């Protein structure tokens, strides 16, 4: 019998993380690197990505920076060339790039709608397609899409975001079905509010109280909560898991 602990390592794996300059994307990139993966860091902010790259290199892993706009297909095609040039493969893709506006549905403007949809759904899909084609050629890969508890249980003011995340979870199932024959496992992570450094100033006061009241375990998610789940879905330990949305939410959805 294989040692179960050995199945969680990511040594010699290459992970591509979008939205890696800040927030959840940054935390996931660092977490996967800590588990042994080398990382392709992607977002529009080169300066921020370079800082993440330096932090990853301090723990002895390799990181490469590729600046791109996930809403632009030409940029994603350039990302594919970059990955093949620098690493020759991609074992893991984490779609963490996102954009959201919190306001009543009556007040959502077309430009806000377009940015949320283009970033969180269109860009995510084509990133799966384009980076996933590298995995298809090798017959193996892991794709993790960032969904949300709002895909199942919503707050006022998050109508479009919640709709997009519900779509992400459903799309994840569809891609898992189509791409299983190519050896590609496609899953989603659905966190509740995550206490990252960039969100600590936002998650306060009345908003924090509202969120905590919905979480049976009585606290926000930490970066470790989410990265541990991402390592599992990225590793051989989850090779028989596909088409699944894993809620890392302290019981939010169950309690709702």
Question: Where residue 4 falls among pLDDT bands split at 50, 70, 90?
Answer: confident
Beta-carbon-side half-sphere exposure of residue 213 (alpha carbons within 13 Å): 7
Who contacts 2 (Cβ-Cβ below 8 Å, separation ≥6)? none
Phi, psi of 246 (to 5 degrees): -95, 110
DSSP string, 159-213: HHHHHHHHHHHHHHHHHHHHHGGGTEEEEEEEES-B--GGGTTTS-HHHHHHHHH
Q: If you count them, how many residues does the chain have?
A: 256
pLDDT score, position 111:
97
The b-or-e profile of 109-124 (16+ CB within 10 A means b, else e) is eeeeeeebbbbbbebb
Instruction: Choose, from 99, 140, 161, 232, the residue flagged as catalytic.
Output: 161
pLDDT score, position 256:
78
Q: Is residue 198 a contact partner of residue 22, using CB atoms and an 8 Å limit?
A: yes
- Specify the pTM: 0.95
Average pLDDT, the chain: 94
Check pLDDT > 80 for residue 60: yes
Write out pLDDT tens, residues 126-142.
Answer: 999 999 999 999 999 99
Domain residue limits, the chain: 10-247
Question: Where residue 1 falls among pLDDT bands split at 50, 70, 90?
Answer: low
CA 106 to chain centre: 29
Q: How far apart are CA 23 and CA 41, in angstroms?
A: 13
User: What proportion of the chain, given as a percentage, has pLDDT over 70?
Assistant: 97
Determine the topology of domain 10-247 in CATH. Answer: Rossmann fold (3.40.50)
Write out pLDDT tens, residues 173-230.
Answer: 999 999 999 999 999 999 998 877 666 666 777 778 888 888 999 998 999 999 999 9
Write out pLDDT tens, residues 26-44.
Answer: 999 999 999 999 999 999 9
Q: Is residue 86 a contact partner of residue 64, using CB atoms and an 8 Å limit?
A: yes
pLDDT score, position 200:
63
**140 counts as catalytic:** no
Higher confidence at residue 203 or residue 55? Answer: 55
pLDDT score, position 106:
97
User: 156: helix, coil or strand?
Assistant: coil
Q: How far apart are CA 52 and CA 20, in angstroms?
A: 8
pLDDT score, position 201:
66
């Amino acid at each position: 019998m294989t040692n179960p602990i050995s199945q969680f390592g990511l040594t010699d794996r290459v992970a591509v993380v979008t939205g890696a300059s800040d927030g959840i994307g940054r935390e996931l990139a660092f977490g996967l690197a800590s588990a042994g993966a080398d990382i392709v860091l992607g977002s529009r902010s080169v300066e921020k990505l370079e800082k993440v790259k330096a932090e990853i290199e301090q723990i002895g892993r390799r990181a490469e920076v590729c600046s791109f706009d996930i809403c632009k297909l030409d940029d994603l095609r350039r990302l594919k060339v970059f990955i093949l040039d620098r690493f020759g493969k991609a074992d893991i893709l984490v779609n963490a790039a996102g954009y959201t506006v919190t306001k009543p549905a009556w007040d959502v403007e077309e430009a806000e709608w377009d940015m949320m949809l283009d970033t969180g759904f269109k860009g995510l899909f084509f990133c799966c397609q384009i980076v996933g084609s590298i995995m298809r050629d090798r017959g193996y890969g892991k794709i993790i899409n960032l969904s949300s508890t709002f895909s199942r249980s919503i707050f006022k003011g998050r109508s479009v975001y919640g709709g997009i995340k519900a779509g992400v979870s459903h799309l994840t199932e569809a891609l898992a079905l189509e791409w299983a024959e190519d050896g590609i496992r496609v899953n989603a992570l659905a966190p509740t509010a995550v206490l990252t450094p960039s969100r600590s100033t936002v998650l306060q006061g009345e908003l924090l109280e509202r969120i905590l009241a919905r979480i049976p375990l009585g606290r926000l998610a930490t970066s470790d909560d989410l990265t541990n789940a991402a390592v599992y879905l990225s590793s051989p330990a989850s090779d028989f898991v596909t088409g699944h949305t894993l809620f890392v939410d302290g019981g939010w959805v169950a309690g709702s």
